[in-house]
């Protein structure tokens, strides 16, 4: 029962985090499609470039703040640590990445799916 509840919370977070933010000129979906940002196994977004634009930096920061808040809430509801929630959602976000999107591989480098 506990695992089912955790899975449902994770899926809800993934759905919520997958929606583009209308408040930002650059959406997460657009930034991913353009290869500007990628997913990491810890559930957070990162800029692919070593010198991202201010818009990309703002998008990453804003998205990750929202994700952290959602992860904390989800972890509390599921009765797991924040780190466990981050890893679970991170794995699912990497699985959901579409062909051509970037993700950070275990060695720390960026790779296209």
Residue 68 CA to residue 27 CA, distance in Å, equals 18
Q: Where are the domains of the chain?
A: 2-106
Q: What is the pLDDT of residue 105?
A: 87
Asked whether 49 and 36 are in contact (CB, 8 A), the reply is yes
Band (20; pLDDT cuts 50, 70, 90): very low
Per-residue confidence band for 26, with pLDDT thresholds at 50, 70 and 90: confident
The stretch 28-34 carries a mean pLDDT of: 95
Q: What are phi and psi of 45, to 5 degrees?
A: -85, 150
Q: Which of 18, 63, 51, 56 is nearest to 36 (CA)?
A: 56
Please give the model's pTM, rounded to 2 decimal places. Answer: 0.76
In which band, very low, low, confident or very high, does the pLDDT at 9 lie, cut at 50, 70 and 90?
Answer: low
pLDDT beyond 60 at 12:
no
**pLDDT at residue number 21:** 43
Average pLDDT, the chain: 86
What backbone torsions phi and psi does residue 106 show, to the nearest 5 degrees? -60, -20
CA distance 80 to 106: 24
Quote the CA–CA distance of 3 and 9 in Å, as a whole number: 10
Query: Which residues is 37 bridged to in the sheet?
Result: 47
Q: How much is the average pLDDT of 54-61?
A: 96
Q: Rounded to whole angstroms, how far apart are CA atoms 29 and 96?
A: 12
Mean pLDDT of 27-41: 96
């Amino acid at each position: 029962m506990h695992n089912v509840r955790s899975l449902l919370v994770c899926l809800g977070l993934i759905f919520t985090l997958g929606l583009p933010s209308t408040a930002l000129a650059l959406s997460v979906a657009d930034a991913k499609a353009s290869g500007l940002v990628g997913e990491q196994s810890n559930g957070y977004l990162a800029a692919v470039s070593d010198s991202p634009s201010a818009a990309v930096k703002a998008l990453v920061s804003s998205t990750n703040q929202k994700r952290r808040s959602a992860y904390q809430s989800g972890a509390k509801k599921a009765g797991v640590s924040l780190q466990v929630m981050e890893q679970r959602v991170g794995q699912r976000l990497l699985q959901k990445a579409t062909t051509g999107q970037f993700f950070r591989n275990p060695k720390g480098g960026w790779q296209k799916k």
